[in-house]
Amino acid sequence: MPLLLHFLPSLLFFLYLSIAVKASALTTAIAPNERVCFYADVDKAGEKIGFYYAVQSGGSFDIDFDIKDPNQKVILDGERERQGDYVLTANTVGEYSFCFENDMSTLTDKLVDFDIMVESEPRREAPAKPGQISEHTSALEESVFRLNGMLMNIKRMQKHHHTQENRGFSVVKSTQNRLFWYAIFESLGVITMAVLQVYILQTFFTKTGRRYKV
């Protein structure tokens, strides 16, 4: 029981880290010439906003995007981007908009995978002396911070591999469809040429056509 009480504050701190991040992991399809926007609320100035996106399929895997603050001021944008991973500081309290626009495409839908994270980072007090641990920061809490950073790196790597897998699958599927239709048109061409050759031979050797009679 004393051991449990000793680790209880650290466990509560770890839970606080888990719930301090408000995140939205979504996948959306954007039609040609369509603009789609998503919104996230920031409760106080100075919060960190994490924004990740990657085009999974469609066309050249590119998309236009922009991020606006509550005053409708563009704080970040890009054209024909394939993916991005950004961390912004929210200086204004309110609703931030994250918009994707598939304006460059007239026929192809774009499938976009993205995360919007609003994080209130806990601040650790500096130790009074070098090598001294602050009363609010134990060795276990230090380990929690390191594990949190490692988990975020693993999550980014998983997103990267997931994106590469989806793009590879999209390319393979597109190539397969092209080969299928190429085989169909090639077969139709062979059949047409065969029918045409038979028709020409029949016309050449027919008795009614004196002009071609041999």
CATH of the domain at 98: 2.60.120.680
What per-residue confidence (pLDDT) applies to 77?
A: 92
Residues 165 and 111 occupy one common structural domain: no
Residues 114 and 41 occupy one common structural domain: yes
Residues 141 and 84 occupy one common structural domain: no
Residues 92 and 160 occupy one common structural domain: no
What is the tally of structural domains in the chain?
A: 2
Q: Is residue 44 part of a domain?
A: yes
Give pLDDT tens digits along the chain (214 positions): 444 444 444 444 444 444 444 555 688 899 998 999 999 999 888 888 989 898 888 878 889 999 999 999 999 999 988 888 888 999 999 999 999 999 877 788 888 988 888 876 544 444 445 454 455 556 776 777 677 767 777 777 777 777 777 777 777 777 888 888 888 888 898 898 988 888 887 887 775 545 544 4
Residues 39 and 97 occupy one common structural domain: yes
Q: Is residue 11 part of a domain?
A: no
Q: Is residue 19 part of a domain?
A: no
Q: How many CA atoms lie within 13 A of 14 on its CB side?
A: 16
| Domain range enclosing 188 | 137-208
Could you say which of 73, 95, 120 is where a domain stops? 120
SS (H, E, C) the chain: CHHHHHHHHHHHHHHHHHHCEEEEEEEEEECCCCEEEEEEEECCCCEEEEEEEEEEECCCCCEEEEEECCCCCEEEEEEEECEEEEEEEECCCEEEEEEEECCCCCCCCEEEEEEEEEECCCCCCCCCCCCCCCCCCCHHHHHHHHHHHHHHHHHHHHHHHHHHHHHHHHHHHHHHHHHHHHHHHHHHHHHHHHHHHHHHHHHHCCCCCHHHCC
Residues 45 and 114 occupy one common structural domain: yes
Residues 166 and 201 occupy one common structural domain: yes
Q: Is residue 126 part of a domain?
A: no
d(CA 110, CA 59): 7
Q: Which residues pair with 81 in a beta bridge?
A: 63
* Predicted TM-score of the model (pTM): 0.56
What per-residue confidence (pLDDT) applies to 104?
A: 78
Q: Is residue 91 part of a domain?
A: yes
Q: Is residue 4 part of a domain?
A: no
Residues 98 and 159 occupy one common structural domain: no
Q: Is residue 31 part of a domain?
A: yes
